[in-house]
Amino acid sequence: MATIFSRIVAGEIPSYKVAENDKFYAFLDINPLAKGHTLVIPKREVDYFFDLTDEEIGEMQIFAKKVASAIKAAYPCIKVGQAVLGLEVPHAHIHLVPMQSEKDMLFTNPKLQLTTEEFIEVAENIRKNFPGE
């Protein structure tokens, strides 16, 4: 059965899309640690991040770099932090979180409650700053 993230890529489940190319897809985390918290996934379904090929990890990181740059432009922060957990959804993903302090990367923190309108606005703000391919 397809993962929830593959179903998002297929358009079967809605997402707040931030960027996409032929191999990777970026969308807002629905339980954000901060405004701009984004997930980057490979379209190819692989559970464990480190089971991706060397080439995929390289290309995914370059794609994530562009997404991080767009997040930082839209939501000024000290740095965009990156984390790979993957304990909840068995489809490799990178978390990108705009950080004002180290504490913003604590996944045990309470998550932000955003309205649909706010999610739409956040995704648009990041998309506007995405440099493209």
List residues with catalytic annotation.
93
Minimum CB–partner distance for residue 28 and ligand AMP (Å): 6
Please, which residue, 44 or 86, has the CB nearer to ligand AMP?
86
Q: Which residues bind ligand AMP (CB under 6 A)?
A: 4, 13, 15, 29-31, 39, 85-89
For the stretch 81-87, contacts whose Cβ atoms lie closer than 8 Å and that sit 24 or more positions apart, written own/partner, are 81/105, 83/107, 84/49, 86/47, 86/48, 86/49
How near is the Cβ of 79 to ligand AMP at its closest, in Å?
19
Give 18 or 70: the residue with its C-beta nearer to ligand AMP.
Answer: 18
CB nearer to ligand AMP: pick between 15 and 129 = 15
E strands of 5-72, at which residues?
Answer: 17-20, 24-28, 38-42
For 36, 38, 46, 116, the CA distances from 93, given in Å and listed in that order, are 16, 10, 9, 23
Q: How far is the CB of 87 from ligand AMP (least distance, A)?
A: 4
